[in-house]
Amino acid sequence: MNTTNTTTRELEIAPGVCTPMLGLGTWPLVGEEAADSVARGIANGYRHIDTAEKYGNEDAIGEGIRRSGIARDDLWVTSKLSLPGHSRAGAIHSYDAALGRMGLECLDLYLIHWPNPQLGGYVEACRGLQDLVDAGRLRAWGVSNFKATHLDEVLAAGLKPAVNQIQVDPQHPQSSLLEANAARGIATGAYSPLGRAGEFLSDPAITGPATAHAKTPAQIVLRWHLDAGRLAVPKSASDARQRENLDVFDFTLTAAERAGIDALDTGAGPRLDSDAYGH
């Protein structure tokens, strides 16, 4: 499980379940902008679309999928539940509500967006998501922004998420959490994979490999994620940038180049502490 190589576009996140490694992020796009971005993203080659209840755009994402004309079976669609889903029945209800908003019969991956430990309900929510998989209504389930302590509580209940989607970029790699995911056989998904301000894109550790491989700095960072076996969901509404972000499967970074990017780690944690923040 969690296998990859230098040319594959997919990652096995559960036995026999493979997802495209690069997905199209959609936050904070809403309405027509979101629908248009998704339709064009699919036309540009994306087959993995990432959204969430909290983004307020699931309806637009569904519209973009329909507008694309691509068969549903050829796409991987991920969404995430919020606070109302933090119980066994609540997770199932949230899933059904998401399907209704999107106009889809099923999702491929459904995540708990934040652990919200103060509610004490994320383990039962995981149980509800496993019920959906067992019933054949969902291909895989996972979590987002979970710390190792949260993961261990889920695992202790006999449940195993396929993915933990977390903030990862060269300055905020969350190395200990990456190691925790790997040690537990859980795939890592990276949101904000290119950061927000993107100041590190001008660092020689990235511009050097960009010159060497005739790629852009953003492509180098996405390849850094892929070489580590991570899913990544960069957001872009630009045709040129969408195509650029997908054009990263014809090269790999050297060990020295990867180490140089790893060294950009500032030691800072994620923007938000999942023990204190959630929705």
pLDDT at 1: 36
Structure tokens at 256: 């020295």
Per-residue confidence at 134, pLDDT binned at 50, 70, 90? very high
**pTM greater than the 0.85 cutoff:** yes
Q: How many CB atoms neighbour CB 18 within 10 A?
A: 16
**For residues 19 and 48, is the Cβ–Cβ distance under 8 A?**
yes
Per-residue confidence at 13, pLDDT binned at 50, 70, 90? very high
Say which CATH superfamily domain 10-262 falls into: NADP-dependent oxidoreductase domain (3.20.20.100)
Distance separating alpha carbons of residues 259 and 238, to the nearest angstrom: 30
Catalytic residues: 55
Distance separating alpha carbons of residues 196 and 126, to the nearest angstrom: 30
Q: What is the pLDDT of residues 153-196, one digit of tens each?
A: 999 999 999 999 999 999 999 999 999 999 999 999 999 999 98
**For residues 53 and 81, is the Cβ–Cβ distance under 8 A?**
yes
| 10-14 and 17-20 strand pairing | antiparallel
Per-residue confidence at 8, pLDDT binned at 50, 70, 90? low
Nearest residue to 95 (alpha-carbon basis) of 113, 73, 116: 113
Per-residue confidence at 7, pLDDT binned at 50, 70, 90? very low
**For residues 183 and 155, is the Cβ–Cβ distance under 8 A?**
no
pLDDT at 6: 39
pLDDT at 3: 36
Distance separating alpha carbons of residues 136 and 256, to the nearest angstrom: 44
139 or 199, which is more confident: 139
> What is the pLDDT of the chain when averaged over all its residues?
95
Residue that the structure tokens 């998904």 belong to: 189
As beta bridge partners, residue 138 has: 107
Q: What is the pLDDT of residues 243-253, one digit of tens each?
A: 999 999 999 99
pLDDT at 111: 99
**For residues 159 and 126, is the Cβ–Cβ distance under 8 A?**
yes
Distance separating alpha carbons of residues 13 and 182, to the nearest angstrom: 11
In this predicted structure, which of 132-141, 200-209, 268-277 has the lowest mean pLDDT? 268-277
Structure tokens at 209: 């490999």
Residue percentage of the chain with pLDDT more than 70? 97
What single string gives the DSSP state of each residue in 157-204?
Answer: TT---SEEEEE-BTTB--HHHHHHHHHTT-EEEEESTT-SS-GGGGSH
Q: How far is CA 63 from the centre of its chain?
A: 21
**For residues 195 and 224, is the Cβ–Cβ distance under 8 A?**
no
As beta bridge partners, residue 166 has: 190
Per-residue confidence at 2, pLDDT binned at 50, 70, 90? very low
Distance separating alpha carbons of residues 162 and 232, to the nearest angstrom: 15
pLDDT at 92: 98
Q: What is the pLDDT of residues 48-75, one digit of tens each?
A: 999 999 999 999 999 999 999 999 999 9
